[in-house]
Structure 1
């Protein structure tokens, strides 16, 4: 699909949105933007809707560019999930926050939703443009620091707490939703070729003294179905984000010097353990030095913030997720970080000009980038060092 096609699809939706906002002679400007290799599923645009004597609207839009092959392989209705999130789920979360009279500091914030196009191969979401309010994304090629990481997991804890509170208020409906959004094992059947290539790529980049240890682990634990166990509901199960990494968050510095972090991508919400989101954030966004200094501090901070967010929603954290259960889950799920590194680091650290595309006939295999960046072996070997230090490799 060409950029001309996606812009045309977008403009049809924008005309409808302008009318709904009572712009009679709207001037609609559309500008294509790039995330420098951080986004693969959508064409992105900045939009301005204006008219004399009326408020100018700054919007952000994404139009699906995932091809037929990748769609058939993912077994995950990415755009349907995000549409559900904005149209239904987040509205329910907002009511829960209002009911509990949360202060601005204690509320989870997400972009304002303006409209969508649900038609297959034309899926479009239009949101407020947070960039015009000073929000930016973190540089994916730099390791997160404590100031950013601590605020990002606070927002994650609020997101998880709202899922739990929603379940407490609507137990029957929530149980059905978790069942509907649980992990689909069919998602891994098309990934085997890609996984073998990624595993070989990791072994080639691993330092010689550690290569045999990683090879033995992959041979013993490298079966895709064994890896899929991390996504199966176990322990505390809630609606997790599914792709909680710096590229899917926006932040800005407040007047007091602290950061405010907003999640902006809800395509991969699914049922699972909150630990998956936490480890996903840590291992997609940090280097070895950060984890040596802050891993235990950050995982402890997450539980503290989850407990606080639950109490703000009148939910007892000790009843829902006792600290001992959390620590047990954290230890049990820890190998997920190693698996995640093998799968995602080539893509997360890729230079923009070598970023993959999901539009063509290669589908998921296109995610095996042909040229990795110089950052890839550094990040990979950092993870290998962690797991040797932790006694897993």
Structure 2
């Protein structure tokens, strides 16, 4: 990616002055590179910048992740504007996370630190580089084993529980999160429709799985409506602030020297949505787990999440009479199963696609139907097929394709 010409010393100097609350900081030089390879991020441009600066008479350096809006036109830029992605993430770091961390009584246990945000004249968010603290993203092709899944849902339950308390204190803090990744607009509908088309086409080539393609095709526009409706809040329902985009690349893990799992952080808060916790669970299970986990451990993960949610809310002195019972929670999860299928039919295809494909984009999923194109590859590669061979019967078991 081309480094924007507006990445100036002044920009980063102002950011550091704000972050360190020190007006005398002077930036001497910058070194900026792509933060991730092509085909690993779809809604913004990501850079890693090392800033060299003087503070209190000493020369120091800091590595930061710089997230900025794509300004070259096309689907990437349109999607960011239609879904208010940078406005939402700025709100998360500016108001929502400070409120969550105040409730938790601990800071930066769910996210990185944010050094600076601005929406004008350019959309930009400057974040702590978690790799300098020993956190890393796992290879997206592999997916998470049960141990990693447990840690993810523990952190998920912590964030969800804190958001329940936050809503009680100040509902206005959740105003901006009425719509997530699948916002009901023309562009998103085109993407989801193209995803269903890619999946239906692939099913016709998977012996024994043709029936799922027929069922999805028979639903027509209903497939879109059922997916979008599955994410809606129910009147009087139990709602939390969902991360909204829990695919493999949006979670980073750290390990002890002996290789044992130590901690994790969520990244990328552009798709948060205030609705049922089943949304995060369905999407995470569809997009981020190993095949063996999908086969054997979904109920165990749901049980672990529910137990953690209850424990956190009890600790926060929230009345558990207002929390769904395990049975009600499972009923709601089942009711929203089409959301998991929608994630599998759209995002999972990106997750299992080959690395380094420069044509990996929303545009090419929507528009390019050729056999050489990204859509054909994403839906017809062996990794995707193996996951869908387990997921299609799983979602069909809820009766959502009938």
| TM-score, reference length from structure 2 | 0.84
Aligned pair 1:345/2:348, yes or no? Answer: yes
Alignment-derived partner of residue 375 in structure 2: 369
Q: Matched residues in 2 for 1:183 and 1:205: separation?
A: 30
Alignment-derived partner of residue 177 in structure 2: 181
Aligned equivalent of 1:239, options 238, 241, 247:
241
Alignment-derived partner of residue 382 in structure 1: 390
Q: Matched residues in 1 for 2:45 and 2:10: separation?
A: 15
Alignment-derived partner of residue 91 in structure 1: 98
Q: Matched residues in 2 for 1:141 and 1:49: separation?
A: 32
**Do the aligned partners of residues 363 and 199 (structure 1) sit closer, same or farther apart at CA in structure 2, a change above 3 Å counting?**
closer
Aligned equivalent of 1:59, options 56, 60, 64:
64
Alignment-derived partner of residue 112 in structure 2: 111
Q: Matched residues in 1 for 2:362 and 2:192: separation?
A: 20
Instruction: Check the 8 A contact 1:288/1:386 in 2, yes or no.
Output: no
Q: Matched residues in 1 for 2:343 and 2:240: separation?
A: 20
Q: Matched residues in 2 for 1:83 and 1:186: separation?
A: 18
More contact order relative to length (CA 8 Å, sep ≥ 6): 1
Q: Matched residues in 2 for 1:201 and 1:126: separation?
A: 36
Q: Matched residues in 1 for 2:89 and 2:189: separation?
A: 27
Q: Matched residues in 2 for 1:186 and 1:386: separation?
A: 25
Compute the displacement of 1:267 (Å): 0.7
Instruction: Check the 8 A contact 1:188/1:224 in 2, yes or no.
Output: no
Alignment-derived partner of residue 169 in structure 1: 169
Greater share of helix: 1
| TM-score, reference length from structure 1 | 0.85
Compute the displacement of 1:365 (Å): 4.8
Compute the displacement of 1:29 (Å): 2.4
Alignment-derived partner of residue 39 in structure 2: 37
Aligned pair 1:77/2:88, yes or no? Answer: no
Compute the displacement of 1:45 (Å): 1.9
Aligned equivalent of 1:23, options 25, 39, 43:
25
Compute the displacement of 1:89 (Å): 0.8
Deviates more, 1:217-226 or 1:42-51: 217-226
**Do the aligned partners of residues 12 and 187 (structure 1) sit closer, same or farther apart at CA in structure 2, a change above 3 Å counting?**
farther
**Do the aligned partners of residues 132 and 186 (structure 1) sit closer, same or farther apart at CA in structure 2, a change above 3 Å counting?**
closer
Compute the displacement of 1:307 (Å): 1.3
Instruction: Check the 8 A contact 1:354/1:369 in 2, yes or no.
Output: no
Instruction: Check the 8 A contact 1:355/1:369 in 2, yes or no.
Output: no
Alignment-derived partner of residue 210 in structure 2: 211
Alignment-derived partner of residue 13 in structure 1: 11
Could you give the per-residue CA deviations for residues 259-307 of structure 1, whole angstroms, max 9, x where no partner exists? 3110011011122211101111110012442112210100110111111
Deviates more, 1:226-235 or 1:155-164: 226-235
Instruction: Check the 8 A contact 1:66/1:359 in 2, yes or no.
Output: no
Alignment-derived partner of residue 261 in structure 2: 258
**Do the aligned partners of residues 86 and 155 (structure 1) sit closer, same or farther apart at CA in structure 2, a change above 3 Å counting?**
same
Give structure 2 stretches of 5+ with no counterpart.
none
Could you give the per-residue CA deviations for residues 335-362 of structure 1, whole angstroms, max 9, x where no partner exists? 32222211222212122333556697x7
Q: Matched residues in 1 for 2:62 and 2:36: separation?
A: 20
Alignment-derived partner of residue 150 in structure 1: 150
Give structure 1 stretches of 5+ with no counterpart.
none
**Do the aligned partners of residues 66 and 300 (structure 1) sit closer, same or farther apart at CA in structure 2, a change above 3 Å counting?**
farther
Q: Matched residues in 2 for 1:351 and 1:10: separation?
A: 35
Q: Matched residues in 1 for 2:5 and 2:48: separation?
A: 11
Compute the displacement of 1:19 (Å): 4.0
Q: Matched residues in 1 for 2:246 and 2:123: separation?
A: 22
Compute the displacement of 1:36 (Å): 5.2
Instruction: Check the 8 A contact 1:65/1:358 in 2, yes or no.
Output: no
Q: Matched residues in 2 for 1:239 and 1:364: separation?
A: 29
Q: Matched residues in 2 for 1:47 and 1:113: separation?
A: 14
Aligned pair 1:322/2:290, yes or no? Answer: no
Q: Matched residues in 2 for 1:378 and 1:317: separation?
A: 40
Deviates more, 1:86-95 or 1:37-46: 37-46
